[in-house]
Chain A
Amino acid sequence: MNTFRLCIVVAGLHLATAFPSQAADHQIGALFPLSGPNATYGDIFMSGADLAVDHINADELLSGELSLRYEDSQALPQRAVVGMTKLVNVDQVPYVLSAFTGVSKAISTLAQRNQVVAVNGGGVGPDLAQLGEYFWNVIPLANLEVRGLVPYLVEEEGLKNVVLIYVDDPLGQAIRTELETELPTVGGTLVDALSVPTTAQQFSGIAAKVRAAEPDAVYIASYGAQQLQIVKQLRDNGVDAQLVTYSGYSVSEALALPESEGLIYTTQSVDYDSDDPVTKRFVDDYTAKYGRAPTAYNVNYYNAVRLFGLLAHALEDKGQAVTGANLLAERMATDSFDLVGGTVSFQDDGTLVAPIQINIVTDGAGQPVATVDVAD
């Protein structure tokens, strides 16, 4: 009798696994830093991505439920490769959200080999545009941000002499090259370029050099806690020139810094007051769910998930499987997408083309002052 019962249980289990749920549920992955020193970014990225999942499921955009499987990358390449391998081989996701340049580069080979789409919504180093056809960026990269900013700085604000403080990595190098190229075209000059080590936290010496150069503006190309220290210590050391930076500064803790008041920074253009239904719904629901206004990072990871929803929806309509290869083909066949911030398109290298927004920090928050269309 016991053997018979056991057979029934085994048969039941077998049937349960042999005939899975009829709903074509979808799962995508995300490699975010959920612990360690960069965990704050993980929380920021997750809030945008989770809201997009909520919206896609509420709209029944796909035939089944969409879920998001998180793996903790700790923003480290090796951890990311382990997490990516699990997402690809165990969870078998066709689409993975990525963040941080090291992580993105480390997983790009796996993405290419396994035909899984990896999407960056946080890193803006221009080298991220060269990671293969399965690696996409739903964020304009830093070179485009600088290209949009320079004419505004010189022609609108009259800030012609610029000093650059930069971390000497692909991001910083790209910003330096772009400033060297773009400033002279509008009558500006890159007076000096001062590189700082990644781990440096003391900038009084740098501040002295900046004061000596007497620039109209100081462009800061750093990230994480370091960029806050640079801003704070420049002001503490008597640098009163206009401070300027890129989208890496659009996190609430940076904007809330008293020394950030009046700082100019660029982001992907998002008119949060737009009547565009996608943007309005995002802003309203984000504010209601999290009790704070969204930032560009929230937008980008919302858009990354929404992009999957739109592509998968199109594939289902055509009766095609939602695989990485089909998602890539569908993206390349689609001219534009309605995402938060407006209608956008992708370049051939998988990088989003979007207008650049110039913001000024006012009362601890970014206020848009201009929007610039940037042609690559």
Chain B
Amino acid sequence: MEAYLLNLGVLISLYAILAVTLNFIMGYAGIYSLAHAVFFGTGAYAGASVALNFSASIFVMVPTAMLCAAALSLLLALPALRVRGEYFVAASLGLQVLAVTVFAEWKAVTGGIGGLIGIPPVDIAGFEIYSPGSFFILSLVTLAAVVAITRLLVRSSFGRSLKAIRDSESAALAFGKNIALIKTTSVVISAALAAIAGSLYAAYMSFINVESFMLDTSVLIMAMVIIGGTGTQLGPIVGAALLLILPGALSYLSFLPQTEIGSIQQILYGLGMAVLMIFRPGGIVGRGRAETGEGEA
């Protein structure tokens, strides 16, 4: 039981990192991206390739993954400079589709559809971290670091610039803000931090393939942010925990037929989202009204 809960804890922590980093651009800069799984995947493949071919040291894997994702994020930042709102959602969707094709076809690096198997566990100063207990501590510490970094950024002048752009790009421009630079920087930071989760995910699972980085995953991460509370520090973590605990919790309800749990879960997701948007559009942690960005802890 303990190992099961710890395993769930690891996944919640990693997805919370993804949700927190998406929230950084979505909640504070108003950049609604449906391509976050791309950076998750880039981090995973980059980290896995390094671990398989060079070193499984966390000090090699993670920085490499961050660099690769940061470089790729410039592809997303380019449309972000030119379009906003629903147009950017469409542009990010395009990047997601493109990336899935690359993940599935670039066999030399990603292993193609078959994926990469036998990824070694992450190594910290000679100690291999793979048991759910030790990995849970690692993922929790990483989550804390990511939350601290984003919190620091959001509360800095950079964060205020982000919020200014989110609330009114024209007004921010009129006040002399370099919108292109701020938007690009925010996307690069978000992608690089998301890649940390990707590289740890690859090391923990020891197998990755394209199925973990498809549009469904991007939608799931976005749902975590929205359900938890967009523009809040705690909301994405709550959202990640809720959406990952729910399937496991349902499987413990012995009166539900095992074969129907998946369908019941889908119905609950749908109902939950609809009810939440009607009564708490700001998410669980956010305010009752849709005042995103006002409720950060």
Contact = CB atoms under 8 A, between A and B. Distances in A.
A272 interface: no
B206 A109 contact: yes
Listed residue (B101, B251, B260) with the most chain A CB atoms within 10 angstroms of its CB: B251
Contacts of A78: 11, 205, 212
Closest 10 CB pairs of A and B: A35-B262, A169-B113, A89-B3, A170-B114, A72-B262, A85-B7, A109-B206, A70-B258, A89-B4, A106-B207
B1 A125 contact: no
B205 A81 contact: yes
B53 interface: no
Contact of B248 (A36, A86, A125): A86
Given A106-B205, A168-B107, 16 more contacts: A35-B265, A39-B262, A71-B251, A72-B258, A72-B261, A77-B208, A77-B209, A77-B211, A77-B212, A82-B7, A105-B209, A108-B207, A113-B130, A170-B112, A170-B114, A197-B101
Interface in A52-91: 69-72, 74, 76-79, 81-82, 85-86, 88-90
B212 to A, nearest CB: 6
A179 interface: no
B263 interface: yes
A9 to B, nearest CB: 21
Interface string A154-186: 000000000000011110000000000000000
A258 interface: no
A102 interface: yes
Given A77-B207, A78-B212, A105-B209, A85 B114 contact: no
A368 B117 CA distance: 37
A105 B261 contact: no
B72 to A, nearest CB: 21
Contact of A168 (B113, B130, B212, B266): B113
B7 A125 contact: no
Interface of B: 1-4, 7-8, 11, 101, 104-105, 107, 112-115, 117-118, 130, 132, 205-209, 211-212, 247-248, 251, 258-263, 265-266
A35 B266 contact: yes
Nearest to B209: A102
A19 B204 CA distance: 38
A101 interface: yes
A256 interface: no
A76 B104 contact: no
B4 A102 contact: no
Given A72-B262, A77-B212, A89-B3, A82 B207 contact: no
Nearest to B262: A35
A34 B258 contact: yes
A46 interface: yes
B101 to A, nearest CB: 7
Interface residues of A, number: 38
Contacts of A76: 211-212
Nearest to B15: A78
A29 B260 CA distance: 16
Contacts of B205: 77-78, 81, 106, 109
A253 B117 CA distance: 33
Contacts of A69: 258
A46 B257 CA distance: 14
Contact of B112 (A70, A82, A169): A169
10 contacts: A39-B262, A72-B251, A77-B115, A77-B207, A85-B132, A105-B209, A106-B205, A108-B117, A109-B207, A198-B113
A74 B266 CA distance: 12
State the majority secondary structure of interface residues on B: helix
Contacts of A105: 114-115, 117, 207, 209
B262 A85 contact: no
Nearest to A71: B251
Nearest to B264: A35
Contacts of A127: 114, 117
Contact of B262 (A34, A81, A102, A169): A34
A79 B211 CA distance: 11
Interface in A98-152: 101-102, 105-106, 108-109, 113, 125, 127, 131
A69 B251 CA distance: 11
A178 B115 CA distance: 21
Nearest to A76: B211
Given A77-B212, A102-B115, A82 B8 contact: yes
B266 A167 contact: no
A83 B110 CA distance: 25
A42 B260 CA distance: 11
A127 B107 CA distance: 15
Contacts of B262: 34-36, 39, 72, 74
A305 to B, nearest CB: 16
A193 to B, nearest CB: 15
A361 B6 CA distance: 50
A175 B251 CA distance: 39
A109 B117 CA distance: 9
A131 B233 CA distance: 41
